[in-house]
Amino acid sequence: MALRAQADCLACHGDATMTDSAGHSTAVDGQKFSSSIHGSLQCTNCHADIKAYPHPDKIAPVDCTTCHADQAAQLKGSVHADTKEHPCTSCHGNAHEIFPKTDARSAVYPLNVPKTCGQCHGNNGMAGKHGLPSVYPNYIDSIHGFALSKEGLLVAANCQSCHGSHGILSHTNPQSPTYKSNIPKTCGTCHAKIEADYEQGVHGKAVAGGNLNAPVCSDCHTAHAILQPTESAFRMQSTPICGNCHKDKFSTYRDTFHSQLGSLGGYVETARCWDCHGAHDVRPASDPASPVNKANLVTTCGRCHAGANLSFVQYQPHANAHDRKLSPGLYYVRLFMNLLLASVLTFFMIHTILWLIRSRYSQVKSKSANGGKNA
Amino acid sequence: MPDTEPAEPKTEATAAAPVSGPGRYFVRFTREQRYMHAVLFTTFLGLAATGLPMRFSESFWARKFAAGVGGFGAILFFHKLCAIVLTIAFLIHVKEVFQRGLLRREKGIFWGSTSMVGNWKDVKDLLGHMRWFLGLGPKPQFERYAYWEKFDYWAVFWGMIVIGFSGYAMWFAPFFAHFLPGWALNAVLVIHSDEGLLAILFIFSIHFVNTHLRPDSFPMDMVIFTGVESEDEFKHKRPLEYKRMLAEGKAESRLGIAPPLWLLNFSKVVGSIAIFIGLTLLVLTLTAYFH
């Protein structure tokens, strides 16, 4: 019997309980299939080696590349090249129920992408097996994840906005959109103005000049767990990130009230690096456009300190009390205070210990009338 | 406080006290002075408890504490609140010294055996005391205020000026910048935190031991809470003042009533809490300092 129409196949495969000899389901939901993107195709278009009933003993797997050659070519060079581990259906879902990516029922509809990728790149998926970071929980709690899952924003960045879809490359591959020097451009696809600002700053120029030690977006914002930058958690975590490279500046910052205050939490308004230096277009202090340029200090400090004047901005946010040449006044003040502290405490410590010993000695020795209370 | 003996005799106390005998109690501190000490140690504990987490903001207990009380904003609020109360107490004290010493020209405020101002006897007492520690001489006879008590007083006096000034300079930095150079704004934090640290270490170790925990007073000298002390204790601790009081015939006017049980118990509880908080802060400070 030759098979021509879907109806012929569905006569048997429409039975939802149908399985093959190995026990795998061979059932097809005819209604869903006909509404799917492939609904107008005949079964034999894909199952090309099945021409009649009874079927041949050995049936070749369906080859999507017959039609989708472009995608197949991209996939071939990607991290998902192994089609046994990553068949098309691992992302697109049930082969008989594939919908266009603009359809909310599609597994690759923007709002469904994170969940689809998360099947493997989550805590319990392939990520663990292959030693890859579990990125799904980070993403879903990020500002992008919230925009997508809470607000249903179709424009919110999902996995494939940054990583691509069929041709996903490792971040170590210079062609990858997540390769370090490509990240500003990748984020700039949506954050165009910030990318433009970034390119004007020392970090952007350094990266463009081939210095991959300079930070790109993800060094400060992280890749997946991106927080709203005004959020307290972000303000708390980010100063040490700048300190990874700017060690001396971070160390002197930590001696100041800004840092003491800021590191306690609950009061996030205190000045962090970028509040004074700018965030994306960080410029050298010699640049007139830098907020820490001498000419701009009154304005910059005045953003928090109402009434800041020229004398006020002489304050050194990175003073080093141990550097006599850089901050002589502060150096001697600290030296005096340290000596005062040490001498007073040392003298009285000795005085008190000797006193204690002597009083106890007299007390025990005299056994005075009031039960030895007053020696 | 640079004060004399209680200026006015306590009539009710005199009436109730036995005229003689071993059970006699003498007034050392007036009610105002005891309240002043209470305000002083309460605000000091508050300032220390809120200042230390800022000084050692990287330590685990600072962050735990900050999180517990509502973050840095809450800590700074309480710090400033205590500072204002302490400033007012300090100003009241200065006003009183000024009135009694300069306006009313009361004797014994700025000099003499009842004054807080140091004199030659204090130097001799210090050296004599040290000799006694080493068993090289007799124990010095102390007057109303011994040299270490005067040191405590002046340390607090100087400390309040220094810590207070540097604290207000940070609080109102843009205002102080009108007449302070820029680097001074850096210096005030160093001054404030080091002087504060000195005060904390000194009070919670030296003052606690010298005044309360030493064998003569262990576990606590109650006189700052009750205002009175027994005749034996008075005679033993400050023999010169005791003799002078008898010689001047002022014993009657300085008699007080034996502290009631509730006051003793209340004082013990309050004092123990203060000492406990102080010692806890001392341990935390030392762990953070040597971490």
User: What's the CA dihedral at B242, B247, B252, B256 to 10 degrees?
Assistant: -10
Q: Least CB-CB distance to B57: which of A264, A327, A354?
A: A264
Residues of B in Cβ contact (< 8 Å) with A259 = 57
pLDDT at B101 over 50: yes
Query: What pLDDT is stored for residue B88 in this prediction?
Result: 97
pTM attached to this predicted model:
0.79
Name the residue of chain B whose CA is nearest to A302's CA: B174
Query: What pLDDT is stored for residue A274 in this prediction?
Result: 92
Peptide bond into B219 cis (omega under 30): yes
Q: What is the pLDDT of residues B150-165, one digit of tens each?
A: 999 999 999 999 999 9
Among A360-374, B96-110, B246-260, the minimum mean pLDDT is found in A360-374
* Burial of A290 from C-beta contacts in 10 A (0-12 / 13-18 / 19+): buried
Q: What is the pLDDT of residues B124-150, one digit of tens each?
A: 999 999 999 999 999 999 999 999 999
Query: What pLDDT is stored for residue B20 in this prediction?
Result: 47
Percentage of chain B exceeding pLDDT 90: 73
pLDDT band at B15 (very low <50, low <70, confident <90, very high): very low
Name the residue of chain B whose CA is nearest to A259's CA: B57
Q: What is the pLDDT of residues B174-210, one digit of tens each?
A: 999 998 988 899 999 999 999 999 999 999 999 999 9
Overall average pLDDT of the B246-261 stretch? 92
Q: How many whole angstroms from its chain centre is CA B261?
A: 24
pLDDT at B16 over 50: no
Name the residue of chain A whose CA is nearest to B57's CA: A260
Inter-chain CB proximity A334 and B215 less than 8 Å: no
Q: Least CB-CB distance to B186: which of A327, A356, A362?
A: A327
Structure tokens at B124: 């001799």
Q: For chain A, which ranges sit under pLDDT 70?
A: 1-4, 125, 127-128, 266-268, 367-375
Overall average pLDDT of the B57-82 stretch? 88
**Burial state string for A152-185 with b = 16 or more CB within 10 A and e = fewer than 16:** eeeebbbbbbbbbbbbbbebeeeebbbbbebbbe
Q: Least CB-CB distance to B66: which of A254, A266, A312?
A: A266
A253 CA to chain B: closest CA distance, Å?
Answer: 12
User: How many angstroms separate the Cα of B232 from the Cα of each of A370, A374, B129, B264?
Assistant: 9, 8, 21, 18
Among A323, A348, A356, A367, which would you mutate to test the B interface (most chain B Cβ atoms within 10 Å of its Cβ)?
Answer: A348
A306 CA to chain B: closest CA distance, Å?
Answer: 7
Inter-chain CB proximity B214 and A359 less than 8 Å: yes
DSSP assignments along A110-177, one per residue: TTTHHHHHHTTSSTTSHHHHTT----HHHHHTSHHHHHHHTT--TTS--HHHHH-STT---TTSTTST
Among A352, A353, A363, A364, which would you mutate to test the B interface (most chain B Cβ atoms within 10 Å of its Cβ)?
Answer: A352
Residues of B in Cβ contact (< 8 Å) with A356 = 209, 214-215
Bridge-based pairing of strands B25-27 and B255-256 is antiparallel
Residues of A in Cβ contact (< 8 Å) with B150 = none
Among B127, B186, B201, B235, which would you mutate to test the A interface (most chain A Cβ atoms within 10 Å of its Cβ)?
Answer: B186
Name the residue of chain A whose CA is nearest to B58's CA: A263
Query: What pLDDT is stored for residue B280 in this prediction?
Result: 94
Query: What pLDDT is stored for residue B23 in this prediction?
Result: 84
A203 CA to chain B: closest CA distance, Å?
Answer: 29
Query: What pLDDT is stored for residue A66 in this prediction?
Result: 87
Which residues fall within 8 angstroms of residue B48, CB to CB, at 6 or more apart? B196, B199, B200, B204, B278, B281
Query: What pLDDT is stored for residue B11 in this prediction?
Result: 40
Inter-chain CB proximity B177 and A264 less than 8 Å: no
d(CA A159, CA A113): 7
Helices A328-366 and B120-133 meet at what angle, rounded to 10? 60
Inter-chain CB proximity A319 and B186 less than 8 Å: yes
Peptide bond into A240 cis (omega under 30): no
Inter-chain CB proximity B182 and A263 less than 8 Å: no
Judge contact between B139 and B236, C-beta under 8 A. no
Residues of B in Cβ contact (< 8 Å) with A345 = 198, 201-202, 205-206
Q: Least CB-CB distance to B190: which of A312, A321, A362?
A: A321
Could you tell me which of A163, A99, A127 has the C-alpha nearest to residue A107? A99
Q: What is the pLDDT of residues A305-340, one digit of tens each?
A: 998 989 899 999 999 999 999 889 999 999 999 999
Which residues fall within 8 angstroms of residue B109, CB to CB, at 6 or more apart? B2, B3, B4, B97, B100, B101, B115
Could you tell me which of A290, A293, A294 has the C-alpha nearest to residue A282? A290
Q: What is the mean pLDDT of chain B?
A: 89
